[in-house]
């Protein structure tokens, strides 16, 4: 597959870049808050500790999900810099604008995403 330049109009790329930048900021803020919550002192009460353990499991899952999305967002921003944003990384065909509107960090066109 040959890399090609994005077929997206510049205004669409700028729109998606702004959305991706904002999402990156939101994720970084959320991940810092989760990290801060993990650093808080634990309650000595047994019942409260059990609740905190359950909360920690939820926070850990949210953190892992947030990290994965952050990596995908940063990869999309890298594709913008490289001039390949909006081009499927698997088949090299353009990604539909409506798909990018729904999932701006997607590296795949609809067809390739369904085949994965």
Domain-wise residue ranges, the chain: 10-115
Identify whether the C-beta of residue 30 lies closer than 8 Å to the C-beta of residue 66.
yes
Q: What is the pLDDT of residues 16-67, one digit of tens each?
A: 999 999 999 999 999 999 888 777 776 666 566 666 666 767 778 888 999 9
Asked if residue 7 has pLDDT above 80, the reply is: no
The pTM score is 0.78
Whole-angstrom distance, CA of residue 55 vs CA of residue 74: 28
Identify whether the C-beta of residue 19 lies closer than 8 Å to the C-beta of residue 97.
no
- The pair phi, psi for residue 94, each rounded to 5°, is -65, 145
Whole-angstrom distance, CA of residue 29 vs CA of residue 35: 10
User: Is CATH 3.30.2130.10 what the domain over 10-115 is classified as, yes or no?
Assistant: no
Residue 50, pLDDT score: 64
């Amino acid at each position: 597959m040959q890399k090609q330049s994005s077929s997206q109009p510049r205004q669409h790329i700028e729109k998606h870049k702004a959305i991706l930048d904002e999402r990156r900021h939101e994720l970084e803020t959320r991940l810092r808050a989760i990290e801060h919550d993990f650093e808080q002192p634990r309650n000595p009460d047994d019942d409260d500790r059990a609740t905190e353990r359950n909360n920690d499991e939820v926070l850990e899952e949210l953190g892992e999900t947030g990290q994965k999305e952050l990596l995908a967002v940063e990869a999309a921003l890298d594709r913008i810099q490289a001039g390949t944003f909006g081009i499927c990384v698997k088949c090299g065909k353009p990604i539909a604008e409506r798909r990018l509107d729904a999932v701006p960090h997607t590296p795949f066109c609809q067809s390739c995403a369904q085949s994965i």
